[in-house]
Amino acid sequence: MSFPTTRLSRLRAAPALRLMVRETTLAPDDFVFPMFVVHGEGVRREIKSMPGMCQLSVDQAVTEAQEAAALGIPSVVLFGIPAEKDALGSENFSDEGIVQQATRAIKAALPDLIVIADVCMCEYTDHGHCGVVRDQILDIGDQSSFIDNDATLEVLKKATLTYARAGADVIAPSGMMDGMVGAIRAALDGEGFVNVSILSYAIKYASAFYGPFRDAADGAPKFGDRRTHQMDPANAREALRELALDIKEGADMVMVKPALPYLDVIHRVREACQVPVAAYNVSGEYAMIKAAAANGWLNERAVVLELLTGIKRAGADLILTYHAKDAARWLAEER
């Protein structure tokens, strides 16, 4: 008995047919657009290591958020550059902090846009670390343990409440402190903010891909590094332990950061949990593509849409990406 020839190309023969059988669909409502906010008025300061991205004063952040919303992007995440830095990052937990101001302004202009407030200390502290630094540094092997985890949780709780009062819809703790989700959930619930969600940076690697972000947010550590609290890039099973702990503590959504070197981890996390999974397509990933495109080595549009599709195919429900606005425009043109 002979069998007919299998022709996989039959389903690839026409654009409409390819679209009909497409397994992974990318859309603007998959994206979260990150923004960096600064004090002042009319400020739109280019970030040299991130072409196309700027530090924005509150008025400009509102304009940028309006553009994102008009493109069908449902959410922005805010990072602040304070007027002054100190050891505790005091502006982080001030009701008049720059992210708090931007949150109020964006929600006033766009009530339905979801505002995510990143909660960490590194952008606000004069030492550039994600937590309270001990007076005495304790040497452990070839690293130094200098972050006081529990003291840091107290600062994060205070910051969280200021963001919630300002109108943030989602709190996104990113410092990788032990117990941060439980502490933040308790703080929110204790003040009546039971409907404010938590998007935990549950799986955040000690990555080399964060360089441009630290330039944008002026948040590079002045000494040491962050390997004592961020995850070792060699570990994947550990990610599932972090995941389970954060969900148990009350995380409504979880994140894997960065995205491209950790597609396998995104897939494992998606298979292991029932909460929405976000992936952060970080600054270094963005900058690489921008540099290659500027040199004519890559087709930026094609590469960006391919990589974002790959992140979603791996299992991400949400993608935080600096490409969000461009990708939304390109997707609209393809329809």
Pairing status of strand 75-80 against strand 114-119: parallel
How many CB atoms are closer than 10 A to CB 15? Answer: 9
Catalytic machinery residues: 204, 257
Contact 126, 153 (CB under 8 A): no
Largest CA distance in the chain: 81
Strands (E), 207-261: 253-257
- Continuous segment of H or E residues that includes residue 281: strand 277-281
Among candidates 66, 63, 71, which has minimal Cα distance to 27? Answer: 71
CA dihedral 177, 178, 181, 183 (to 10 degrees): -100
Which one-letter amino acid corresponds to residue 120?
Answer: C
Contact 40, 81 (CB under 8 A): no
- Give the span between the Cα atoms of 214 and 225, in whole angstroms: 13
